[in-house]
Amino acid sequence: MKTLLEMSGVSVSFDGFKAINNLSFRIGEPELRAIIGPNGAGKTTFMDIITGKTRPDSGTVVYGEKSISLLKMSESEIATVGVGRKFQKPTVFEAQTVRENLAMALKNKRGPFDVLLYRKTQAGARRIGELAETIGLTDALPRIAGELSHGQKQWLEIGMLLAQDPRLLLVDEPAAGMTPAEREHTTDLLKRAAQKHAVVVVEHDMEFIRRLDCRVTVLCEGSVLAEGSLDHVTSNPEVIEVYLGR
Ligand SMILES: Nc1ncnc2c1ncn2[C@@H]1O[C@H](COP(=O)(O)OP(=O)(O)OP(=O)(O)O)[C@@H](O)[C@H]1O
């Protein structure tokens, strides 16, 4: 597995408080990685640094074969090189159908006016079909997105991110507000996405993480406290003390 993103010695302070403290992290492509840690551990800040929303005070973040520095790029440039982010709250176009949402999200090199045209091309229709299958919304394609359940909206948004062919997908607390059946579907979906992409999932729900069955990074006070299989990290006394034992 080749490395897609490597963060080394990254620190960031907010008003003198070190939210990220000499953090080093590496993810391969493809790979599925879960990030856990107590409140305030720096999980959101970690993702903000990758997407360019927060600039670190020191350290490096390099990406891709050419090891380009993400720290020199704007948020939109970082998105263009293939970093997609899914926030906790779903943001789909509620008044459009599932099919239209996916069509709008498809990478379209011909400009915005051709979006609906693209939908009608064979390649576009095939890709929409594939995406719908990946996210388990094939039967829902003609439905208005606003009528979907919370879980279905989350899957649609993941599909919209996948439509843009990201190389790295950052997913923030996907299990929140989902039914047990929706959570199960979501873990399957993320595992499928991680066969081709690098996928980082920040989540508190340990059952969800167990189902992801992937390498886990434990963050604490802005640094990596432990890393490895879920069984490995959850048997670490320090992890039990700061996170699990509370
Ligand atoms: N813009 C900011 N200004 C000041 N402090 C901040 C800012 N962003 C984050 N912090 C602080 O940095 C620390 C890390 O926050 P962060 O949101 O990254 O943690 P987290 O692991 O995502 O927590 P949670 O699990 O609660 O979402 C916290 O103590 C937070 O209060």
Ligand 1: list residues with CB < 6 Å. Answer: 14-15, 19, 37, 39-45
* Nearest protein CA to atom 29 of ligand 1, as residue: 40
The closest of 136, 118, 139 to 127, measured between CA atoms, is 118
Q: Is residue 234 part of a domain?
A: yes
Model-level pTM? 0.92
- Residue-wise pLDDT tens digits, 190-213: 999 999 999 999 999 999 999 999
Confidence of residue 124 (pLDDT cuts 50, 70, 90): confident
Q: Which domain holds residue 213?
A: 2-88+168-244
pLDDT of residue 9: 98
Spatial CA neighbour of 157 closest among 105, 232, 192, 205: 105
- Place 106 in a pLDDT band, splitting at 50, 70 and 90: confident
Nearest CA residue ID for atom 8, ligand 1: 45
For the chain, how many structural domains are there in total?
1
How far apart CA 186 and CA 178 sit, in angstroms, is: 9
Is residue 171 within 8 A of residue 199, CB to CB? The reply is yes
| pLDDT category of residue 115 using cuts at 50, 70 and 90 | low
Residue 144 lies in a domain: no
Percentage of the chain lying above the pLDDT 70 cut? 94
CATH code for the domain in which residue 41 is found: 3.40.50.300
Asked if residue 95 is part of any domain, the answer here is no
Residue 61 pLDDT:
98
Note the pLDDT of residue 245. 75
Residue 54 resides in a domain: yes
pLDDT for res 184: 95
Q: What is the chain's mean pLDDT, rounded?
A: 92
Spatial distance between the Cα atoms of 217 and 222, rounded to a whole number of angstroms:
12
pLDDT tens per residue, range 149-187 = 999 999 999 999 999 889 999 999 999 999 999 999 999
Q: Residue 91's Cα: distance from chain center in Å?
A: 14
Q: Which atom of ligand 1 lies at the shortest distance from residue 54's CA? A: 1
In a domain, residue 205? The reply is yes
